Amino acid sequence: MAVTSSSMMLLRNLPTVGRIAQSVRANSRIFSTGEIIRVLPRIASPRSISSTRAAHNEEAAAKAASDTGAPTIFDKIIAKEIPSDIVYEDENVLAFRDINPQAPVHVLVIPKLRDGLTTLGKAEPRHIEVLGQLLHASKIVAEKEGIVDGFRVVINNGAEGCQSVYHLHLHVLGGRQMKWPPG
C-alpha cells in the first residue's frame, strides 16, 4: 500500500484522529471499500426528523402557554365552535382525536367543566369524581378504538411537563407498541 500525503497527515495527527474516530463511531456508519475508508453520516429517517420537530414545537408551545384561567381552544371545542372528530361524549366528558397524533390512536379526553382544573397539579378533593370519570372515559375510548389490550394514558402537567393547553386533558395513545421509558 502506497503512503499518500493524506495518510501522512493522518499519522501525524493520530491523537486528534482518535478522538474524532470515537465521535464518528458513535454518530456515523463506516463503510470500507478497498484502501479508502469513507465515513457517511447517519441519515435520520423522515419520521425521526418529523417527531424531533414536533417535540420541539410542543416544547415551544408549552413554554409560551400560561395558566391564566382564560378560555382555551378546548372550551371552543366543547361549545362546538370549532369542529373536532368526537370519539366519545357524555354529560361530563368529551373525547376527540388529537390534531397532531403521536400514535395511530391519539385521543384527548377532557372535562366539559373546567372548575379550576387547568392542570393535574391543581386538583382538589372536589375534583375526585371528575378525575375518575376522565379515567373511565379513557377506558371507554380504548374499547371503542380497539386498543383496550394495550394503550397508554398521559397527563402533561405544567410547562416542564409539556402542557400547552391549560384545561386538564388526558392523552389516550395506542395502536402501536409503546416504548419505555417515555419522553
Domain range annotation of the chain: 58-174
What does the pLDDT read at residue 55? Answer: 57
What does the pLDDT read at residue 69? Answer: 78
| 169 is known as an active-site residue | yes
Fold of 58-174: HIT family, subunit A (3.30.428)
Angstrom distances, CA of residue 14 to CA of 10, 35, 36? 6, 18, 17
CB atoms within 10 A of CB 165: 17
What does the pLDDT read at residue 156? Answer: 97
Q: What are the cell numbers at 108?
A: 384527548
Q: Give the CA-trace dihedral at 62, 59, 147, 149, to 10 degrees.
A: -100
- 101 prior amide bond cis, ω within 30: no
User: How would you write the pLDDT of the chain (183 residues) with one tens digit per residue?
Assistant: 454 444 444 444 444 444 444 443 343 333 334 444 333 343 344 444 444 455 568 888 888 888 887 899 999 999 999 999 999 999 999 999 999 999 999 999 999 999 999 999 999 999 999 999 999 999 999 999 999 999 999 999 999 999 999 999 999 999 999 999 986
pTM: 0.69
